[in-house]
Amino acid sequence: MPYLAMLLLGLELFAGLFWLLQIIRVLTTDAESFEDHKHKLLWFLVVVFVPVVGAIWFVVWRHQTSVKRAQRSAERNAEENVRSIAEAYRAEKKV
């Protein structure tokens, strides 16, 4: 029985620490990561008033947005690479 109580205490401590870290993460994330400043406030309220579920939801949302941002960046880089290769080819053809 004491092991179960220690396990539950450890889980509560982990959940509380995770929740606190997500609150800090919402507050320190720059506003450009959100659609507008109201979304940052909304995420703060969700994480504060729906503690563990809101924190997990924020982590999932943040992961999805970072993946989308990385994909857009990769697409832009690919387009720039194709453009630079085409310009180099045109310049080589002219010479």
Identify which of 63, 28, 60, 23 has the alpha carbon closest to the alpha carbon of residue 43.
23
| Sequence ranges of the domains in the chain | 2-94
Alpha-helical segments (H) within 2-95: 2-28, 37-49, 51-94
| Prediction pTM value | 0.73
pLDDT of 11-47, one tens digit each? 999 999 999 999 999 999 988 888 888 999 999 999 9
HSE-CB for 55 with a 13 A CA cutoff: 15
| Spatial CB neighbours of 43, under 8 Å, sequence gap ≥ 6 | 26, 34, 58, 61
Cα dist. 62→5, 36, 40, 76 in Å? 33, 15, 12, 21
pLDDT of 49-71, one tens digit each? 998 999 999 999 999 998 988 89
Question: What pLDDT is stored for residue 85 in this prediction?
Answer: 86
Kindly indicate the confidence band of residue 95, based on its pLDDT and cuts at 50, 70 and 90.
low
